[in-house]
Every structure is written in structure tokens, then in C-alpha cells.
Amino acid sequence: MSLSKTSSLANGASAFNQPPLSVVQFDGSEQLKRAMRHVAATVSVVTAGTDDRTGATVTSATALSVDPPTMIVNINRSSSSWPVIERHGHFCVNILSSDQQDIADRFAGKGGLKGPARYEGADWTTLVSGAPVLRDALSAIDCEVEHVIEHHTHAIIIGRVLAVTQKDAEPLLYHQGGYGQFRT
């Protein structure tokens, strides 16, 4: 990191003797939600089940490790997806492309659709685990549950990657409460 001549740190000031930031009183979860809206995140649909298939739109899916290939997702334990993931021991992270906002909305519960009804209007298949895979997903990461940490309202689910599909397109992003895309 190089410091410019006008930087207060370049002029001998310490990062620790700067005036404190003005901090508003922490008001709990709503303030955290507002802060996290500044993070642009990839939109995925996490799916699970067979005849009892269900799924949820998330922005919290990420790779935990590439050696061994491992994913991590956070699912609210009050979600209909949680008991299905727990029962089947599998899930698939379907990373959505920028033209799949309608799928994100369906799995977010918009329109009141639940369970298998959320799957209508899209082409689904399976890979290794048996979890539903969106055939047109930007990427689909099929996982077997390895470990679960139940913490407060959520289950932190660690899954071993069994199979991956991918195509070339732009991802669907979520930022400041709305969908968007990043163009290269």
C-alpha cells in the first residue's frame, strides 16, 4: 500500500490517534440488515428433496474450501427448506444468471408459492445427490451435507461438493434491496 503525500498517515499520524467515528446506538437486527444491504451478493436458489422438494433464495452461499471442495450455506431453521435438507442430507446451490429474477422471486416466496409449486416454469434435473438442479443455472453445485451448526435462528450447513455444472453468462446480484447485474 502506498500513501500519498496528503494522507494523514503519510504525515506521521497514527491510525489509532484519529478522532473516533461517529457511531449510532446499535438498535439490533434492523441496523445489521441495513448495513448488509451495502454488500452486493450473488443470488442462488438452494434446493433439496425429491418428492418433497423445496428451496429458498439465498445470498449466503459461498465456497468454504476448494481442497477438499466444500460449500457453506446459511438457512433459517423456520424455513420449509431446513427440515428437507436435514432429512435428505443433500442440497444444491443453483447460482442464478441475470435473466432468472423470476426464479429468485418464486423461491423467495413472492406470489405465495410453496414447495413443488416453486419449481413450475423451469427445467429441473438432478446430478449425484438427488437434489433438484436448475438446468439453466449459471452454475449448479450439488452437495452432500457434511456438518451442520445450529446457531440462533439459522443452520450453517457445510456440504461436500459432489458435482458442478456451469455456463457462461452474467450473474444475478442483490444489492440495496433490489436485483442487478455486473457486466465485465
Per-residue tens of pLDDT for the chain, all 184 residues: 343 444 445 555 566 777 777 766 777 888 888 888 888 899 999 999 999 999 999 999 999 999 999 999 999 999 999 999 999 999 999 999 999 999 999 999 999 999 899 999 999 999 999 999 999 999 999 999 999 999 999 999 999 999 999 999 999 999 999 999 877 7
Backbone angles phi, psi at 117, to 5 degrees: -65, -25
Domain 29-181, second-level architecture: Roll (2.30)
Give the three cell numbers for residue 136: 439453466
Predicted local confidence at residue 28, as pLDDT: 81
Domain boundaries, the chain: 29-181
| Prediction pTM value | 0.86
Predicted local confidence at residue 33, as pLDDT: 86
Radius of gyration of the CA atoms of the chain, in A: 20
Predicted local confidence at residue 75, as pLDDT: 98
Measured CA to CA, the distance from residue 132 to residue 173 in angstroms comes to 22
Quick check: 145 and 131 in contact, CB under 8 A? no
User: What does the angle CA 167 – CA 170 – CA 176 come to, to the nearest 5 degrees?
Assistant: 140
**Cα 121 to the chain's mean position, in Å?**
22
Measured CA to CA, the distance from residue 90 to residue 84 in angstroms comes to 9
Quick check: 90 and 143 in contact, CB under 8 A? yes
Non-local CB neighbours of 149 within 8 Å, separated by 6+ positions = 155, 156, 158
Predicted local confidence at residue 1, as pLDDT: 39
Predicted local confidence at residue 2, as pLDDT: 41
Measured CA to CA, the distance from residue 7 to residue 98 in angstroms comes to 40
Predicted local confidence at residue 5, as pLDDT: 43
Quick check: 49 and 88 in contact, CB under 8 A? yes
